[in-house]
Amino acid sequence: MHRNAYRAVILLATLLGGIGHAAPPRGIVVEVTPARQSLTRNQDIIVTVTIRNTSRTWQYLPKWQTPFAGVQAPLFDVTRDGLPVSYLGIMVKRAPPTSADLIALAPGAARSSRVELSALYRMDITGAYTIRYRTDRLQGATAPLAASVWIDGRLPRGLPESSYEPVTTAAPAGAGLTFNHCSNAQQDSIAASVQAAQSMAQDGDAYLRAGVLAERYTSWFGPRDEARAATVARHFDAIRDAFATRPITVDCACTQPWYAYVYPNQPYTIHVCKAFWTAPLTGTDSRGGTLVHEMSHFTVVAGADDWAYGQAAAGALAGSNPDRAIDNADSHEYFGENTPYRNARRR
Ligand SMILES: [Zn+2]
pLDDT tens track for 105-151: 999 999 999 998 987 898 989 999 999 999 988 888 999 899 999 99
Q: Which residues have CB atoms below 5 A from the ion given as ligand 1?
A: 91, 93, 306, 329
Q: How many CB atoms lie within 10 A of CB 92?
A: 21
Distance 344 CA to ligand 1 centre (A): 28
93 Cα–ligand 1 center, Å: 4
Q: Report d(CA 261, CA 291) in Å as an integer.
A: 10
Would you give the distance in Å from CA 228 to the centre of its chain?
Answer: 19
Q: How many Å lie between the centroid of ligand 1 and the Cα of residue 113?
A: 24
Q: For residues 80-103, give the mean pLDDT.
A: 91
DSSP element (H, E) containing 47: strand 46-53
pLDDT of residue 343: 76
Residue 346 has pLDDT above 70, yes or no: no
How many Å lie between the centroid of ligand 1 and the Cα of residue 261?
Answer: 7
How many angstroms is it from 301 CA to the middle of ligand 1? 14
Active site residue 294: yes
**What distances in angstroms separate CA 109 from CA 51, 67, 112, 280, 334, one per listed residue?**
9, 16, 10, 42, 38
Digit-coded pLDDT (tens) for 40-84: 987 889 999 999 999 999 999 999 999 998 898 999 999 999 999
Q: Summarize the confidence of residues 238-264 as an average pLDDT.
A: 95
Exactly one of 226, 294, 333, 337 is catalytic; which is it?
A: 294
- CB count, 10 Å around CB of 329? 26
